[in-house]
């Protein structure tokens, strides 16, 4: 139910359509979505053929009444003078012979003019809407003109322009602006237009801020509450409107207009508030611009320091005065040492840089105007006490041949040390991988020979020989050892993947078909969900086949001891950062889940909880997914586990 004059009209319980529109049910639905009372006239039949719910709400007629609604009874003024596309005031006869003047607009639905759509709007509703439109247009007019405020030479010109625009727009006899004093509880009149405004007080006391800074309108004869309203009453003014000037909660002043023309009070306040908001923006703009100008002058004084820093900067920068006390530090130095500049300003440098034995001598050389040689690497202490490797340089800064500052450049070598250690570790792992691969290759042949010999031995043993069980166990151990060697070779051997657009729906469908007989034997229900018939990703088919084989095998093994279960595979397209497409494949089961302490280690090589496992399946899977520039995630809880693989999709698919 809308607000305003329309809200005074009664609503019908459940309005419905009367009749069927010839040939177009879509038009009937469209008309029923119109809030205003709308009817379709049948001029040939002389009656109302259709009426939307707005008509029944307005008139109070019952929609299921079988009696026809005659045009002459409802719209007695309707006649040949009506034309399509135009509106006019007309008389509408409501139940119980009640009459109401309304605005009617007619539209012909066919060329002969038999079917006519008429939209009825109560006159008070029409006037209310016109006022709303006028109000919106006035506010737009303010916004368009006030964009010039920040284009003036200075703040005074901007404020004069604002008052000029406000006086023209509001048609007021006078308008003025009071600025808030930063160190007093007063508002001071700084600019005004209109001679009569000059008689208003030059300053206002801020005794009750909430009252003063609340938008208000005062008309002669009303009670004067604030100081400015009391002044208006004493000057016998007709009216006064005030609006606060504030930006982001900061109160900056008060805008006052007097003797305004008669119009809706809310509109007056809105327009003055809009003007005040633009003035607040202008005040903030010119204050910021002045601060920037002052900052530029300060930058000239510090030009020599900035030039020296720009030529020698590495990482952290500490600026000292000749007394060896800290003046400034850049953010890198603050993060490196753990101190904020405000904390250490004026502190002697030896209390900040602790641990570098060659620093005092280098500082003495800088005091004598000499740049110290490279101090090399050493150890420094952070605020927390943590020791970190650092590289330090010290050099003086001279202005007009006079020593003004000393600059210290500190480079944190921790990352370099970590890279060096990581590189050494990777080299060791690479060597270990080569040795492991050689070992696995050399061991695989003897294991195969042993397995072959055991098979031959088993064939030659009688059926009831007690050694057959022993030979069978040895063959099982050989098979597990062979599988382990294959996994080790796969993990240690660098793989080259050929990334091509690959249909994951088809790849998974074929893989699941191979696993379906085993799942049927274990009473495992398979659910395969895909959003589209084909979802492509940039992938190596053989590599992803190995990944999903490992995930399916783990899921089935997790459920084989519980007499059945549900295995679900879902393929879907997801949005990545920057709008790049990704493909998500999730494999979930309703097994017992993975304990938290195990979940943190499942991707580590050779970690397994299964007596038959090698501990390399998930490690190899993760490496394959990373080679695809994707990621693999696990989410487990009591009663289920979900593995999710995310890899880049193919963009612009047809």
pLDDT (tens digit per residue) in 196-223 = 889 999 999 988 888 888 999 999 999 9
What is the number of domains present in the chain? Answer: 5
Q: Does residue 269 sit in the same domain as residue 365? A: no
Q: State pLDDT tens for residues 595-620.
A: 888 888 888 776 676 766 666 778 88
For 173, the token pair is 């006899």
Is 257 contained in some domain? yes
Q: Answer whether residue 308 is part of any domain.
A: no
Q: Is the pLDDT of residue 550 over 60?
A: yes
Q: Among 64, 98, 130, identify where a domain stops.
A: 130
Residue 261 lies in a domain: yes
375: in domain: yes
Does pLDDT of 11 surpass 60? no
Residue 617 maps to a domain: yes
* Same-domain check for residues 383 and 362: yes
95-109, 222-236, 408-422, 562-576, range with greatest mean pLDDT: 222-236
412: its two tokens: 């944190």
98 DSSP 8-state letter? -
Position 19 pLDDT exceeds 50 = no
Over residues 541-558, the mean pLDDT reads 88
Which residue would you say has higher pLDDT here, 26 or 492?
26
* In a shared domain, residues 37 and 74: yes
Is 236 a residue whose pLDDT tops 80? yes
User: Is there a single domain that holds both residue 422 and residue 371?
Assistant: no
As a whole number, mean pLDDT of residues 476-503 equals 71
DSSP, res 94: P
Residues 459 and 568 in one domain: no
574 with 613, same domain: the answer is yes
CATH number, domain containing residue 157: 3.30.450.40
Confidence band of 491 (pLDDT split at 50, 70, 90): low
Percentage of the chain exceeding pLDDT 90:
21
75 and 20 both lie in a single domain = yes
Please, what is the Cα angle at 241 between 238 and 244, to 5 degrees? Answer: 160
Name the pLDDT band for 6 (thresholds 50, 70, 90).
very low
Q: Give the whole-angstrom CA distance, residue 117 versus residue 129.
A: 21
Asked whether residue 504 falls in the same domain as residue 633, the answer is: yes
Q: Note the pLDDT of residue 426.
A: 63
- Name the residue range of residue 22's domain: 5-130
Judged by phi (left if over 0) then psi (alpha if -120 to 50, else beta), residue 626 lies in alpha
Mean pLDDT of the region 560-574:
89
- Picking from 492, 521, 547, the residue at the C-terminal end of a domain is 492
Cα–Cα distance for residue pair 546/549, rounded to 1 Å: 5
- 464 pLDDT tier (thresholds 50, 70, 90): confident
The confidence score (pLDDT) of residue 170 equals 82
Mean pLDDT of the chain, nearest integer: 82
Does 317 map to a domain? no
d(CA 172, CA 289): 32
Give residue 8's pLDDT band: very low, low, confident or very high (50, 70, 90). Answer: very low
User: Pick the residue with more confidence: 488 or 372?
Assistant: 372
Residue where one domain finishes, among candidates 130, 162, 182:
130
Same-domain pairing of 614 and 568: yes
**pLDDT at 131 > cutoff 70:** yes
Residue 119 lies in a domain: yes
pLDDT tens, position by position, 43-68: 888 888 888 888 888 888 777 667 77
In this model, does residue 645 exceed pLDDT 90?
A: yes
Say whether pLDDT at 487 is over 70: no
Instruction: Give residue 612's pLDDT.
Output: 63
Cβ neighbors of 474 (< 8 A, separation 6 or more) are 450, 454
Between residues 277 and 474, which one has the greater pLDDT? 277
Residue 537: phi, psi to the nearest 5?
-140, 155
- Lowest mean pLDDT across 295-309, 328-342, 547-561: 295-309
pLDDT of 441 reads 63
Residues 6+ apart with CB under 8 A from 587: 548, 551, 552, 555, 567, 568, 569, 642, 643, 645
In a domain, residue 138? The reply is: no
Would the pLDDT of 21 be above 60? no
Instruction: Check residue 244 and give its pLDDT.
Output: 93
The answer on 512 and 479 residing in a single domain is no
Confidence at residue 494, expressed as pLDDT on a 0 to 100 scale:
61
Same domain, yes or no: 507 and 638: yes
CATH of the domain at 336: 3.30.450.20
SS3 354: coil
Is residue 204 domain-shared with residue 66, that is, in the same domain? no
* pLDDT grade for 84, boundaries at 50, 70 and 90: confident
Examine the pLDDT at 477 and tell me if it is beyond 80: no
Specify the pLDDT at position 431.
62
pLDDT score for 639: 87
Query: What confidence category does residue 16 fall into, taking pLDDT thresholds of 50, 70 and 90?
Result: very low
């Amino acid at each position: 139910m809308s607000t305003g004059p329309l809200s005074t009209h009664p609503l019908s319980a459940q309005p419905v359509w009367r009749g069927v529109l010839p040939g177009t049910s879509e038009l009937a639905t469209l008309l029923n979505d119109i809030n205003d009372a709308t009817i379709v006239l049948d001029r040939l039949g002389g009656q109302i053929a259709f009426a939307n719910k707005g008509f029944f709400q307005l008139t109070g007629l019952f929609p299921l009444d079988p009696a026809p609604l005659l045009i002459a009874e409802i719209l007695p003024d309707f006649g040949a003078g009506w034309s399509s596309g135009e509106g006019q005031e007309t008389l509408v006869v409501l139940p119980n012979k009640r009459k109401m003047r309304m605005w009617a607009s007619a539209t012909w639905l066919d060329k002969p003019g038999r079917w006519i759509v008429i939209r009825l709007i109560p006159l008070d509703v029409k006037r209310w809407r016109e006022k709303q439109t006028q109000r919106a247009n006035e506010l737009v007019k303010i916004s368009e003109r006030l964009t010039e405020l920040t284009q003036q030479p200075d703040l005074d010109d901007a404020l004069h322009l604002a008052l000029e625009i406000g006086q023209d727009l509001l048609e007021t006899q006078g308008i003025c602006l009071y600025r808030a004093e930063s160190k007093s509880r007063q508002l001071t009149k700084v600019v005004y237009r209109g001679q009569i405004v000059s008689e208003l007080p030059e300053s206002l006391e801020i005794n009750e801020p909430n009252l003063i800074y609340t938008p208000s309108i005062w008309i002669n004869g009303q009670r004067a509450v604030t100081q400015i309203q009391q002044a208006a009453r004493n000057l016998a003014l007709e009216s006064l409107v005030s609006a606060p000037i504030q930006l982001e909660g900061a109160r900056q002043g008060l805008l006052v207009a007097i003797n305004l023309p008669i119009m809706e009070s809310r509109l007056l306040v809105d327009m003055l508030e809009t003007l005040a908001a633009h003035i607040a923006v202008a005040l903030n703009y010119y204050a910021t611009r002045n601060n920037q100008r002052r900052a530029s002058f300060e930058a000239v004084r510090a030009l020599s320091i900035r030039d020296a820093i720009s030529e020698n900067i590495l990482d952290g920068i500490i600026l000292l005065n000749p007394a060896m006390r800290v003046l400034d530090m850049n953010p890198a130095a603050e993060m490196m040492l753990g101190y904020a500049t405000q904390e250490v300003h004026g502190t002697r440098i030896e209390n900040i840089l602790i641990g570098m034995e060659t620093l005092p001598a280098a500082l003495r050389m800088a005091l004598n105007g000499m740049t110290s040689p490279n101090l090399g690497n050493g150890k420094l202490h952070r605020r927390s006490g943590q020791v970190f490797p650092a590289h330090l340089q010290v050099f003086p800064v001279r202005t007009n041949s006079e020593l003004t500052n000393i600059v210290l450049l500190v480079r944190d070598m921790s990352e370099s040390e970590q890279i060096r250690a990581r590189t050494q570790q990777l080299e060791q792992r690479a060597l270990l991988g080569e040795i492991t691969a050689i070992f696995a290759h050399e061991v695989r042949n003897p294991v195969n020979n042993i397995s072959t010999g055991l098979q031959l031995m088993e064939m030659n043993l009688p059926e009831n020989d007690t050694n057959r069980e022993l030979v069978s166990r040895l063959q099982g151990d050989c098979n597990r050892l062979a599988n382990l060697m294959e996994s080790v070779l796969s993990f240690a051997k660098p793989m080259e993947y050929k990334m091509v657009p690959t249909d994951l729906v088809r790849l998974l469908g074929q893989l699941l078909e191979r696993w379906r007989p085993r799942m049927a034997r274990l009473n495992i229900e398979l659910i395969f969900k895909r959003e589209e018939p084909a979802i492509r990703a940039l992938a190596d088919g053989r590599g992803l086949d190995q990944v999903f084989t490992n995930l399916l095998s783990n899921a089935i093994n997790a459920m084989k001891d519980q007499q059945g279960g549900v295995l679900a595979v879902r393929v879907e397209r997801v949005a990545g950062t920057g709008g790049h497409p990704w493909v998500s494949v999730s494999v979930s089961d309703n097994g017992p889940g993975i304990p938290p302490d195990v979940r943190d280690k499942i991707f580590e090589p050779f970690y397994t909880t299964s007596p038959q496992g090698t501990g390399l399946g998930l490690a190899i899977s993760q490496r394959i997914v990373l080679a695809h520039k994707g990621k693999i995630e696990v989410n487990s809880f009591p009663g289920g586990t979900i593995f999710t693989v995310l890899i880049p999709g193919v963009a612009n698919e047809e």
